[in-house]
Amino acid sequence: MDPIDRRRFIASAAGTAALSALDLAQAAEPAQAAASAGPILLATWPHGKPANEKAAEVMAAGGSLLDAVEKGINVVEDDPKIQSVGYGGLPNVDGEVELDAGIMSGTTHRIGAVVNLHQIKNPISVARKVMEKTRHSTMAGEGALRFALAEGFTPMQLLTPQSLQAWLDWKNDPHHVTYWLDAEHHDTIGMIANDGRGHLVAGCSTSGIAWKIPGRVADSPLVGSGYYADDHAGAASATGDGDAMQCYVTSFQIVMLMAQGRTPQQACEECLRYMATTSPATRTIQACVIAMNPRGDVGAASMNAKYPLQYALWRNGKSEILDAKPVL
């Protein structure tokens, strides 16, 4: 590579990621969290608040970071009022609820993920089983369901009367938008937990966009897109238009920016600005990210003010909902 190409490469996000990988490989030990921090829990959207509170409870009772993230996310998956995650999630175009989830340990660099899972209300728990009971990382569709059943998960109807009615209303509306080329009605629970000693776990769970084409795979269950964790650099999670966001592998990009020395806030903003600059069509989409470094500093950003992000933070016993900064 000549010097000019090299400079351009370094200035690019891909170059940043590659260099960060080299720096990380040379790092001997994970960065330590601030000494007195205790657990720090960060999650997307106001529904992240009860998830954080559950996770804090799990950790106070001696549970692991993986327990905290799994049980925290379960609270949102179990809540039928949240129509974008787990039980009661809005279905695909055929009226079937298809769930996606993934979890990653920043200590072991292992992940577990499930994609297009039907009939099981807690995909994050199935994802964790994939990580801990198999040498696989991601399982999809029919195979993921069979695995879940073999692991003792109970199949059930995931449509509630409310989500069924929402689908019928959409289907019977002669002017309904197909959503093949549009994306509305979605959200996700993305969560990051730090034990206060610099160990990180990230997880994500969603029913994806409403009325999606069966078989669609968005960013949430894809490692590096919906979630990523590395004790040497930080963790991140994404929510928003997953068809667009997966093209930028947002969570991995943010973690690599933190590895380069950016604060979590700088990394979140830089990632979204890079998207907006290199793909101007993304300026108007919903694209939101959260991040935390091993010290427990946090960041959050949304692409624009049209789709603002509220996120939940639990630290030192204080549980709150905060507004993220729009970058445009």
Q: Does residue 186 belong to the site contacting ligand ASP (CB under 6 A)?
A: yes
Residues binding ligand ASP: number (CB under 6 A): 13
Name the closest residue to ligand ASP (Cβ). Answer: 242
- Measured from the CB of residue 26, what is the shortest distance to ligand ASP in angstroms? 34
Catalytic residue of the set 16, 138, 188, 250: 188
- Measured from the CB of residue 187, what is the shortest distance to ligand ASP in angstroms? 4
Q: Which stretch binds ligand ASP (CB under 6 A): 53-61, 68-76, 102-110, 185-193?
A: 185-193
Smaller CB separation from ligand ASP, 219 or 297: 219
- Measured from the CB of residue 33, what is the shortest distance to ligand ASP in angstroms? 27
Q: What angle do CA 300, 304, 306 make, to 5 degrees?
A: 120
CA distance 100 to 221: 5
Q: Which stretch binds ligand ASP (CB under 6 A): 65-73, 109-117, 169-177, 186-194?
A: 186-194
- Please pick, from the candidates 209, 229, 256, 312, the single residue that binds ligand ASP as defined by CB under 6 A: 209
Smaller CB separation from ligand ASP, 75 or 287: 287
Q: Is 188 a catalytic residue?
A: yes
Smaller CB separation from ligand ASP, 58 or 300: 300
Smaller CB separation from ligand ASP, 116 or 125: 116
Smaller CB separation from ligand ASP, 206 or 282: 206
- Please pick, from the candidates 86, 198, 208, 296, the single residue that binds ligand ASP as defined by CB under 6 A: 208
CA distance 170 to 148: 31
- Measured from the CB of residue 291, what is the shortest distance to ligand ASP in angstroms? 15
Q: Does residue 206 belong to the site contacting ligand ASP (CB under 6 A)?
A: yes
Applying the rule CB under 6 A, the residues between 215 and 244 that interact with ligand ASP are: 218-220, 239-242
- Measured from the CB of residue 65, what is the shortest distance to ligand ASP in angstroms? 22
SS (H, E, C) the chain: CCHHHHHHHHHCHHHHHHHHHHHHHHCCCCCCCCCCCCCEEEEECCCHHHHHHHHHHHHHCCCCHHHHHHHHHHHHHHCCCCCCCCCCCCCCCCCCCCEEEEEEECCCCCEEEEEEECCCCCHHHHHHHHHHHCCCCEEEHHHHHHHHHHCCCCCCCCCCHHHHHHHHHHHHCCCCCCCCCCCCCCCCEEEEEECCCCCEEEEEEECCCCCCCCCCCCCCCCECCCEEEECCCEEEEEEECHHHHHHHCHHHHHHHHHHCCCCHHHHHHHHHHHHHHHCHHHHHCCEEEEEECCCCCEEEEECCCCCCCEEEEEECCEEEEEECEECC
Catalytic residues: 188
Binding site for ligand ASP (CB under 6 A): 186-188, 206, 208-209, 218-220, 239-242
